[in-house]
């Protein structure tokens, strides 16, 4: 249990048997009336964001979330298998929990896996990863200055938009939050 006066960004609360992560909070002390805390909470499992107001000083239940760096090993059916690098324990995480992170993970990729009482909550990759373009249409001479884009299939099988001058086999940096091309990586 924690007081609403002790809230911090990233803290995970247990409200109505659901886990909510504090995205932002603001202590408000109006001229008259009691003080309160205005929060923006994100549902850990669904990603839904809600605004919620608490009276100042009330107790809220906190959830113990264990965040560990783990290595992605392989996919087994719809599950993804991760290994804790300290204990070598393997953890099966469902494809729904992994979500869009699966588009940017290769075997051996390091990821942050958050669990609550042994149940995987979410998988977080670094903000950017480096992947090889498995296939893209060849660019035409003169395409370099137009600023257009074309689809490119990454080695993970995911398709993103890249500048016209890139070719098959080049390594690119990709933003894992929105799948945008960040730049070419020199080998």
DSSP assignment of 52-112 equals: EEEETT-EE-B---EEEEEEEEEEETTEEEEEETTT--EEEEEHHHHGGGGGG--TT-EEE
- Its domain, for residue 10, covers 2-60
Indicate whether 146 and 164 sit together in one domain: yes
Please write the tens of the pLDDT for every residue from 4-55. Answer: 888 888 888 999 888 898 889 999 999 888 999 999 998 887 778 999 999 9
Give the residue among 169, 158, 103 at the shortest CA–CA distance from 136.
169
Indicate whether 137 and 107 sit together in one domain: no
Please write the tens of the pLDDT for every residue from 55-68. Answer: 988 999 998 888 89
List the CATH number of the domain containing 107. 2.40.50.140
Domains of the chain: total: 3
pTM of the model: 0.74
Indicate whether 72 and 53 sit together in one domain: no
Q: Are strands 2-3 and 59-60 parallel, antiparallel or unpaired?
A: antiparallel
């Amino acid at each position: 249990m924690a007081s609403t006066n002790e809230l911090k960004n990233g803290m995970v609360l247990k409200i109505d048997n659901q886990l909510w992560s504090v995205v932002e909070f603001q202590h408000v002390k109006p001229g008259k009336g009691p003080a309160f805390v205005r929060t923006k909470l994100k549902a850990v499992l669904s990603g839904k964001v809600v605004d919620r107001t608490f009276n100042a000083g009330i107790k809220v239940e906190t959830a113990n979330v264990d965040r560990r760096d783990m290595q992605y090993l392989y996919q087994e059916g719809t599950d993804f298998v991760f290994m804790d690098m300290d204990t070598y324990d393997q953890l099966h995480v469902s494809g729904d929990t992994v979500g869009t992170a699966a588009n940017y993970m290769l075997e051996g990729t390091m990821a942050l896996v958050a669990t609550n009482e042994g149940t995987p909550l979410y998988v977080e990759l670094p903000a950017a990863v480096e992947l090889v373009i498995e296939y893209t249409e060849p660019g035409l001479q003169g395409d370099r200055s137009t600023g257009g884009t074309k689809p490119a299939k990454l080695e993970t099988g995911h398709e993103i938009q890249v500048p016209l001058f890139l070719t098959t086999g080049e390594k690119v940096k990709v933003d894992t939050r929105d799948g945008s091309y960040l730049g070419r990586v020199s080998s």
